[in-house]
């Protein structure tokens, strides 16, 4: 395993696929790993390039595997798709990731820190809550219109909706 230069890692919920290639691009390793085996496996490998699709969990695994001394490359999934040679499965995806990672013109996504990911999560959750609040207010306004109660648009009028709906 000392001649492994590049590893394509296909992430999943429980079983990950690993595809390792040497400097000539020949496959020298194909392996399935359970989630709990991933860090132990990479801690025993000599330093190499580990490529993954930039998807859910990729930044976490990028940080953790990077701590072991490996160079991490995250690739947008749309850039990996053209390299899949045969039917879509996890092993074929790992091979395609490995091949895409060594392309000289390939663009990569930087691994996000926990702080950056946390801030993005807060922002996305806030956006979701605002959308849901707007949907709820609009739905309630629509239903009340059928009872002859017309309330102006906007979250500022939510209190009026509440007083109309509240049973005395």
Residues of the chain with pLDDT under 70: 1-2, 167-168
- For residues 53 and 38, the answer to whether their CB atoms sit within 8 Å is no
Residue ranges of domains in the chain: 6-111, 115-165
Please give the pLDDT value at position 82: 85
Give 130-143 pLDDT, tens digit per residue: 999 999 999 999 99
Rounded CA-CA distance 34/11 in Å is 10
Please give the pLDDT value at position 155: 86
Fold of 6-111: Nucleotidyltransferase; domain 5 (3.30.420)
- For residues 125 and 108, the answer to whether their CB atoms sit within 8 Å is no
Please give the pLDDT value at position 56: 85
- For residues 10 and 97, the answer to whether their CB atoms sit within 8 Å is yes
pTM of the model: 0.80
Please give the pLDDT value at position 2: 58
């Amino acid at each position: 395993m000392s001649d492994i230069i590049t590893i394509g890692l296909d992430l999943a919920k429980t079983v990950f696929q690993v595809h390792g290639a040497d400097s000539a691009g020949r496959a020298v390793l194909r392996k399935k790993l359970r989630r709990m085996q991933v860090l132990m496996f990479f801690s025993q490998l000599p330093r190499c390039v580990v490529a993954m699709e930039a998807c859910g969990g990729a930044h976490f695994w990028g940080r953790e595997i990077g701590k072991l001394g490996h160079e991490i490359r995250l690739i947008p999934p749309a850039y990996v798709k053209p390299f899949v040679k045969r039917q879509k499965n996890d092993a074929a995806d790992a091979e395609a990731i490995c091949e895409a990672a060594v392309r000289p013109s390939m663009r990569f996504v930087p691994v996000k820190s926990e702080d950056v990911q946390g801030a993005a999560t807060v922002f996305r959750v806030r956006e979701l809550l605002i959308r849901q609040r707007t949907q709820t207010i609009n739905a309630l306004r629509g239903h009340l219109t059928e009872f002859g109660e017309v309330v102006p648009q906007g979250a500022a009028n939510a209190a009026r909706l509440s007083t109309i709906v509240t049973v005395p």
